[in-house]
């Protein structure tokens, strides 16, 4: 299957700092990328949907000014958690949907574990 | 928007027995229903999926059924093995939106 990578895999930061997480589709072009957040023992909650070259669509209750998403190319989307606080500590997972070729599956990245001290 | 409910939240079965996980969805426009297995600290892994034009699909020990009228879909795992222990998520995606919405998850434990 297609490969999606995320970087970093793990990050620890101080409260008030900003953290950038990258999501890359390595062997396919992704029309759409999705960002999910997963708290311990909970489900994956969709935060936002991003399409290359356009503004992200945020789910209800997700602050767009706090979680900045940039989808500058068909293979890269970034999520920046601005002014992170301990309650932002979570497992952030991206996924990418292929551009063409009849592929209808979403491929998930390995996740980024964010710990805010 | 779409809402996916999943039951049970935890399930313990004897090795060799079958496990069934059930989900319901709210958006009648949903037409794609994937199932994921997630191990601790790892990404969700697609194990099987079903589209709305099909009522049942099987892959070795795993099968999914879909009842569009009732908006129900289920995962069946037969001859369970210890390596089946994980958290399983159902999900749904509508034809009008590209996003996948997850159920709340089922923690499956296989007793030896």
Given this model, what pLDDT does residue A98 score?
77
Q: Is B53 on the interface with A (CB under 8 A)?
A: no
CB pairs under 8 A between A and B: 42
Q: Is the minimum CB–CB distance between A95 and chain B shorter than 8 Å?
A: yes
The token pair that represents B84 in the structure block: 């089946």
C-alpha span between B37 and B86 (Å, rounded)? 6
Query: B43: distance to nearest CA of chain A, Å?
Result: 5
Question: What number is the average pLDDT over the span B56-61?
Answer: 96
Cβ contacts of A42 on chain B, cutoff 8 Å: 104-105
The pLDDT of residue A28: 86
Residue B97 has pLDDT above 80, yes or no: no
pLDDT given for residue A45 in this prediction: 96
pLDDT at A104: 63
Please report which confidence band the pLDDT of residue B22 belongs to, taking 50, 70 and 90 as the band edges.
Answer: very high
Q: Say if B100 is an interface residue toward chain A (CB within 8 Å).
A: yes
Give percent of chain A above pLDDT 90: 75
Positions of chain A with pLDDT lower than 70, given as ranges:
1, 99-104
DSSP summary character for residue A59 = P
Judge whether residue B56 has pLDDT over 60.
Answer: yes
Residue pair A27/A96 in contact by the 8 Å Cβ criterion = no
Distance CA B92, CA A58 (A): 18
Mean pLDDT confidence for B33-39:
96
Q: Quick check: B89 contacting A, CB < 8 Å?
A: yes
Chain A residues near residue B32 by CB distance under 8 angstroms? 104
| Rounded distance between C-alpha atoms, residue A16 and residue B45, angstroms | 34
Quick one: pLDDT at residue A51?
A: 86
Min distance B16 CA to chain A CA atoms (Å): 26
Nearest to B102 among A43, A49, A91 (CB): A43
d(CA A91, CA B46): 18
Q: Is the pLDDT of residue B54 over 90?
A: no
Q: Are A12 and A84 in contact (CB under 8 A)?
A: no
- Contact (CB<8Å) A44/B44: yes
Instruction: Tell me if A49 and B42 make a contact (CB, 8 A cut-off).
Output: no
* Mean pLDDT taken over chain B: 94
Segment B17-42 mean pLDDT: 95
Calculate what percentage of chain B has a pLDDT beyond 90. 89
Mutate: best of B10, B32, B95, B99, partner A, most A CBs <10 A: B99
Q: Is A7 helix (H, G, I), strand (E, B) or coil?
A: strand
Give the C-alpha separation, B3 to B103, whole Å. Answer: 8
């Amino acid at each position: 299957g297609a490969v999606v990578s995320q970087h970093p895999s793990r990050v620890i930061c101080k409260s008030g700092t900003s953290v950038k997480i990258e999501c890359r589709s390595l062997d396919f072009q992704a029309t759409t990328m999705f960002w999910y957040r997963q708290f311990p023992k909970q489900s994956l909650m969709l935060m936002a949907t991003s399409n290359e070259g356009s503004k992200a669509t945020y789910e209800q209750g997700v602050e767009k000014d706090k979680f900045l998403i940039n989808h500058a190319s068909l293979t890269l989307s970034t999520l920046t958690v601005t002014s992170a606080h301990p309650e932002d500590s979570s497992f952030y997972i991206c996924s990418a949907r292929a551009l063409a070729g009849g592929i209808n599956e979403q491929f998930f990245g390995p996740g980024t574990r964010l710990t805010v001290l | 928007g779409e809402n996916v409910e999943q039951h049970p939240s935890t399930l313990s079965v004897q090795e060799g027995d079958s496990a069934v996980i059930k989900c319901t969805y709210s958006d009648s426009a949903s037409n794609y229903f994937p199932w994921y297995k997630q191990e601790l600290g790892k990404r969700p892994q697609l194990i099987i999926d079903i589209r709305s034009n099909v009522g049942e699909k099987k892959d070795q020990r795993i099968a999914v059924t879909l009842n569009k009228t009732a908006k129900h879909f289920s995962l069946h795992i037969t001859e369970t093995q210890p390596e089946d222990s994980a958290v399983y998520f159902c999900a749904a995606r509508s034809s009008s939106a590209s996003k996948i919405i997850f159920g709340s998850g089922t923690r499956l434990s296989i007793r030896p």
